[in-house]
Structure 1
Amino acid sequence: MEGNKMRIKISDIKSNATFLLICMGLFFTPGIMRTTIVKSQWALINVLSWLGYFLLVKRFIKKGKISVSRHNKYGVLNPLWIILIIVLFIFESMLLPEFETISKIKYIYATILPCCVLYTKLPKDEIVRYTKIFSYVLTVAGTIVVMCGVLDMFIGVGIGNFIATFTGVDSLIESVRQGRMVSYFGHPLLTTEILILCFSFNSIVNYCIKKQSIAYTVYYSIICVVGIGLCGSKTGIILITIEFIFMYVNRRGLRYFILIVIVAYLAYSYGLLDTVIGRFIAGFESGDLTTGRNTALALVLQSGYLKFNFFVGHAGTELSERMIAALEYPPLRWAYLFGIWFAIMICVVLFIIPFVKIIKSRNMKIIIVAITLIFDVNSYNGITTQSDHMLLFCVAMFLLMNLCDALRGKENENMYISSKPVYIGGHTKGSNYNIK
């Protein structure tokens, strides 16, 4: 019996190690740093994260549980959909002579293949452990980012300026000039997405898996709000405010709400929210809160320069600054680059099917998180680039979809599900919880 328990623990450690590789690749070896250090566009491939994923599904491949049916219990579901999109994408790319082969490979890797992660289904115990690990790692990453931003602001150590200069990316240099926080993740909007994920998944753990202490709940909430304020993201601060209201403005969360409001006032008093407030004021004065995106879109539509085709797009053509601003929203950019058919298919696979599945769970906390994440990734063009943005989104939604299955039958989101301890490096995190 004792030997059997030990085997289970060792199995858990090995299983957690594979998911930790995914997290380490996403949160501690970001794409902008990989490409800057290695000085190769092939460094965009997140080796650590993909290695972790392949090891994760290795046991499914061994057991023959790669299924084309949504009724399969575990494994990678409906891979034929992903293959179909790749085939159609390659076929269309052949009609675009200016779209280079290396760019085609990068788009398949960065935009389409992460959908395999999205549709991977795991047992309940595993997904509970992975969700907790994801929230822990996000908190560590968020803490590092915000501490660096606060040090930059109050002591002037110049961490953000060093990162911008080291990478040599114009948008980061401009962000520093505007007073926005630049972290090792790169652009402030990606950092904002990381912080929204941090708040979202810690809240999910708090409500659905393991009740967190008041101190820890207040801590990660403050970290995320202050960090987004330093990033100067108007969309981010609106989304996290709405999400916080839906999550915590209730009888159970009233104590959190009061504490966070007090701390938010203190953050405002010390100028930690000055950047985002300044950008809101500038947006109101210009009449466009989207930092010129909607204005640019309206102008190119009126000029007739922006044209969408159903089957063949314009990938490979040079985009002007105005076109880049106008095509900031992912569905529009996909439709312009690869045709309306591709935008529809990828949006159905990425957003519609997962959201319908999550809606069916009737767990309001997870539904709120899913809506927040979908709105956030569609507010800027991150997931249309060839870096880690799409993989990050797919990992997050993969956890939410699997957690919905683990919570099936527990419509009340305040009911905790039983879970095994989380073993990280041989140490135990958390304890067993039964249904409340």
Structure 2
Amino acid sequence: MREGVKIKGLVVNKQKIDLPIIFILLGLFVFNSFVRQMLFPSPLPYQLNLFAFFGCLIIAYYKIYGIRLKVENIWLIFGSIILLCLLMMSEIHAGRMFSGFIKVFVGLVVPLILLYYSIRNKERTIKIVVNVFIVVSLFVVILGVVDLFYGNIIISRFYTLANDLKYTNMALSSSRLYSYLGHPLYNAELFLITFGLNYAYNDIVKKSHKGDIWIILICMVGIALTMSKSAIALYFLMLCVFYIKNIMYLIFSLMITAGAYFFGLFDTVISRFQGSLSTGRNEMWDVVKSSGEVHFHFLWGSGSDSKYSFSFISEWARAAFEYPFRLFSLEFGILFMIIIMVMTFCYPAYKILRGRKRNLVLFVIFVAVSLHVNIYNGIGTYMDSMYMFCLFGCMIMNLYKLRES
């Protein structure tokens, strides 16, 4: 039996934490997009998450090194080739720069390999990933609570150092949680993933939920600070599903919710629920659609960043394309959208539900995070968001494999 895989003198022992996952964690939480923006003034270098990309390249090497004709490997290779061809057709048809193709390929297509990757030393690697998510979530919440009293001055100075005037102004003019990772909705995704992965790991590996109270507290405060309607609804849905039989946790959750309510953390969220549930996205779509300027094609699209071409209709016309399914259909064609949605969301959910040991907990967690990801344009920025979702999906799929074994 092989002790490990040798890569240019480096032996990756199967008993140690998975090397590609380390690179992806570094790319997401240490050298994230704003840190890269400080280091590289030109757009393309900071838009590319090279640490995470390198991690995925190592995974590709593993798959080629010990390739097996499994259904998921064939599906991954075949689907990726089609996506690559459709992406090239769209960029060439739209007369886009080669840099646009690179950005989308690295930030959207490459991360898919994570969803089909069986990690080494599953228990230890998943434990480290869960702990990293918890530490990052705690850091973001503590800084967010402190900055709440300073009007987001601390985080706005961080954005200023990153030479991002747009985020500086958004943070200063908003009471929502902006962090060193970015937008409130991206932070909400972080908290949903942290809550879900922690519960799943404790349920499947540790067989104990003794420390869940602190994670419930951290994630609830964090999500309340982001003021994301979808994240709050999905978080409480998961709480009810997971702890319906645990009266202590339900009472604790109600107490924390009541405390957050009386401190006014939910005031803005409640007022946002009273308005448009889509925060103007559907209304803007009606405006853009009625102009007759929007055209969707089956085999190709209008090219990357074509959502900005509708600014002559309205300054915020791009909001009409914040839903990923609509954005991908516009920029790369309907077929591209169908394939990437199936590969990213549908196939993993189907595999969890139709396995020998169906795990409804993993299914609920995966679907909840997937729903949140599909209500904003995070994965459509082609930077870090797709890597974080696919890392989450990788952990869920490997927890499922652990349970089956």
TM-score band, normalised by the shorter chain?
0.7 to 0.9
CA drift at 1:18: 4.4
CA-to-aligned-CA distance 1:55-113 (integer Å, 9 cap, x gap): 4565554xx323453277xxx9732321232123213422221x211101111111111
SS in 2 for 1:39: coil
Pick one of 197, 220, 225 that aligns with 1:225: 220
Residues 305-335 of structure 1, C-alpha deviation per residue, up to 9 Å, x if partnerless? 3221212322254242443111110010000
CA 1:176 to 1:274, structure 2 compared with 1: closer, same or farther past 3 Å? Answer: farther
Name 2:398's counterpart in structure 1.
402
CA contact (8 A) 2:204 2:399 kept: no
Contact 1:69–1:78 (8 Å) recurs in 2? no
CA distance in 2 between partners of 1:261 and 1:186 (Å) = 29
Aligned match for 1:117, one of 114, 121, 134 = 114
Q: Residue 276 of structure 1 aligns with which residue?
A: 269
| Correspondence for 2:77 | 79
Q: Indicate the RMSD between aligned Cα atoms, in angstroms.
A: 2.4
Residues 109-148 of structure 1 correspond to what in structure 2 (within 5 A)? Answer: 109-122=106-119, 126-148=121-143
Mapped to 2, the partners of 1:128 and 1:301 lie a distance apart of: 49
Within a 5 Å distance, the mapping from 1:1-400 to structure 2 comes to: 11=13, 14-40=16-42, 41-55=44-58, 58-61=61-64, 64-70=65-71, 78-97=76-95, 99-122=96-119, 126-154=121-149, 158-167=153-162, 168-171=164-167, 173-212=169-208, 214=210, 216-250=211-245, 253-280=246-273, 284=274, 286=275, 288-315=276-303, 317=306, 318-320=309-311, 321-361=315-355, 362-400=358-396
Structure 1 residue 295, shift from structure 2 partner: 0.8
8 Å Cα contact 1:19/1:52 also seen in 2 = yes
CA 1:172–1:186 in structure 2 vs 1: closer, same or farther (change >3 Å)? farther
Moved more, 366-375 or 205-214: 205-214
- Classify 1:81/1:18 alpha carbon distance in 2 versus 1 (closer, same or farther; 3 Å): closer
Counterparts of 1:235 and 1:115, CA distance in 2: 24
TM normalised by structure 1 equals 0.81
CA–CA distance in structure 2, aligned partners of residues 80 and 218 of structure 1: 44
Q: Decide whether the 8 Å contact of 1:139 with 1:198 is kept in 2.
A: yes
CA distance in 2, matches of 1:351, 1:372: 11
Q: 1:387 to 1:171 in 2, by over 3 A?
A: same
Q: For structure 2, list consecutive stretches of 5 or more residues without a partner in the other structure.
A: 4-11
CA spacing shift, 1:100–1:58, aligned 2, 3 Å? closer
Report the count of equivalent residues.
Answer: 385
1:78 match: secondary structure: helix
* Paired-residue identity, %: 30
Do 1:229 and 1:274's aligned partners in 2 also have CA atoms closer than 8 Å? no
Q: Which runs of 5+ in 1 are unaligned?
A: 5-9, 410-436
State the AA in 2 paired with 1:69: K
